[in-house]
Amino acid sequence: MPQAGRLPTFTTHALGLLLILAAVPTVGQSADEAGLGLSVSRSYLPRARDGARIAARVRLDGPAELRLRVADADGRTVRELFRGRRAAGTLARSWDGRDEDGQVVPEGPYRIVASSVAVPPAQGVRPAAQADPPAPESEGQVAEAWVTVADRRVYPPRPGFITIAIDPGHGGSLDGAVGPDGTREADLNLDIGLRLARMLEGAGVTAVVTRTSDSNVNEPPLDLTADGLIDETDELAARPDVANRARADLFIAIHNNTAVNQSVGGPATLYSDERTFSERSSRLARIVQAEVLTALRGVATDAWQPYERKALTYPYYVLRDYDPPRLLRPTQMPGVLSEGLFLSNPRELRLLKQPRVRQAMAVAYYHAIAEYLAGRESHVGYASISAPSEVAAGETATFEVEVRNQGTEPMRGWHLAVSALPATSGSIGRPGGAQKVGGRRIPFVAPGRRVRLDVQVAAPEPAQPWVLLFDARDPDGGRAYRQGSPPLEVPLTTVEPAVPPTQGVAVARW
Ligand SMILES: [Zn+2]
């Protein structure tokens, strides 16, 4: 399954909806197929801000029937930017975030779509007004760029500085809840998750989706829990693994609900209260719940108003702490599991089947992420640049680490602390057992900047697998980890020194 930030090409049929998300860069040169090129000036458009525009530039290698339009995530045309016959060359048009009637479009992911059908040069070029309607897009070349229209930007000092893990619940062999008409929760979750991922990508955030099609995440199937069985627990274990590998800042699991009683309904947002960062998850849960409720009130009808089920604690596998043998690698970042609406409630099922409602829910998650990130007390990100995998216990090794300032304030007077935990302890879920093994000063880092640092680490004893935690401290000694910035985890195995010490007093450990 993909762990990369960019979404691969795929097609999914959910509820008869055809949502095609093609793998095209959102900024700069887009799909450069034979004869047709498209680039856009930016991928984020602040909604309803006068003067804000996205410039689109189309390059034609030869004469063609050309169409340039803005479509919503479902492919419906929002605005025609050009339609007619063009000679080889470039065409520039811009979009101001309004539809054909001049109305500001709703928030969401949009596509700028260029399509062309080559015409023989002998036919020449006629004025656009006389042109025949261009042939369907399926017959010619198509290039697309995705853009995000939103009121509130997820703050990215630089594209790719913030990573959000999105887990559309169930999928493949697991349907999740199934409505009386056969609607599958897995399909709804995926559709909402992909809409959210597209919006985040357009705003410069790396979105890592555990699955981008109706498939299992643990694919090819592996025994991730090392219990000799490949079962549903491995399918669940694969999801935190995706988020942890991506070093995501947040984990958002998207679900919808079911109950025996058809009248039960309303959104709930769940988090785990057994994690050291539970306070952060609780805050995220309250924000998500409020945003989802607001979004649903916006699509409410006289016959239906969302019932408030609140932000609640619940020990879902993907949110829980280390719990061997079933759960060996818990999520290492604040996270929530959102239960949107009930497929078992006829009114709510009717809503869930509408693309505009799923869009509204995706926008709600988008806003919640933006609000949470803006309110973090620290905004530190990390990446491991180089690390030895094996060091003799007691020796000093150098780790190269990148520290990123994901916030809007400069980092001045910060320190990077390194502690070691036995790899079997579930790592950062239990910081009590950590021993300090290194650290160094962090130089000044401006917002949206990164520095690479060599950090000396004394390899811990005894010889065994360890997890090193790199966690920044603010000038007052406050731990970035406690302030909402997940630490960097680097595995390290310490081995017995090659030559046993020959001096000093031999102290038997055993
Ligand atoms: Zn579910």
Output the CA 151–ligand 1 centroid distance in Å.
29
Structure confidence by residue, pLDDT tens digits, 415-435: 999 999 887 655 554 555 688
Q: In this predicted structure, what is the pLDDT of residue 136? A: 52
**Cα–Cα distance for residue pair 80/98, rounded to 1 Å:** 11
Which residues in the chain show pLDDT less than 70?
1-34, 121-139, 424-433, 499-510
Structure confidence by residue, pLDDT tens digits, 149-190: 999 998 877 888 899 999 999 999 999 999 999 999 999 999
Output the CA 283–ligand 1 centroid distance in Å.
22
**Cα–Cα distance for residue pair 162/185, rounded to 1 Å:** 28
Output the CA 305–ligand 1 centroid distance in Å.
22
Rg (CA), the chain: 26
Q: In the beta sheet, which residues pair with residue 84?
A: 66
Q: Residue type for 199, please? A: M
Output the CA 253–ligand 1 centroid distance in Å.
9
**Cα–Cα distance for residue pair 140/196, rounded to 1 Å:** 29
**Cα–Cα distance for residue pair 201/44, rounded to 1 Å:** 9
Residue environment code for 334-355, b if the CB has 16+ CB neighbours within 10 A, otherwise e = bbbbbbbbbbbbebbbbbbbeb
Output the CA 175–ligand 1 centroid distance in Å.
8
**Cα–Cα distance for residue pair 66/117, rounded to 1 Å:** 7
Output the CA 456–ligand 1 centroid distance in Å.
45
Identify the three-state secondary structure at position 417: strand
Q: In this predicted structure, what is the pLDDT of residue 33? A: 47
Q: In this predicted structure, what is the pLDDT of residue 389? A: 85
Output the CA 174–ligand 1 centroid distance in Å.
9
**Strand-pair category, 36-40 with 54-60:** antiparallel
Q: In this predicted structure, what is the pLDDT of residue 138? A: 59
Output the CA 254–ligand 1 centroid distance in Å.
8
Q: In this predicted structure, what is the pLDDT of residue 482? A: 81
Output the CA 480–ligand 1 centroid distance in Å.
32
**Whole-structure pTM value:** 0.84
**Cα–Cα distance for residue pair 148/204, rounded to 1 Å:** 10
Residues at Cβ < 5 Å from ligand 1 ion = 169, 176, 255
Output the CA 176–ligand 1 centroid distance in Å.
5
Output the CA 188–ligand 1 centroid distance in Å.
10
Q: In this predicted structure, what is the pLDDT of residue 35? A: 87
Residue among 390, 379, 378, 388 at smallest CA distance from 454: 388
Output the CA 317–ligand 1 centroid distance in Å.
12
**Cα–Cα distance for residue pair 265/433, rounded to 1 Å:** 43
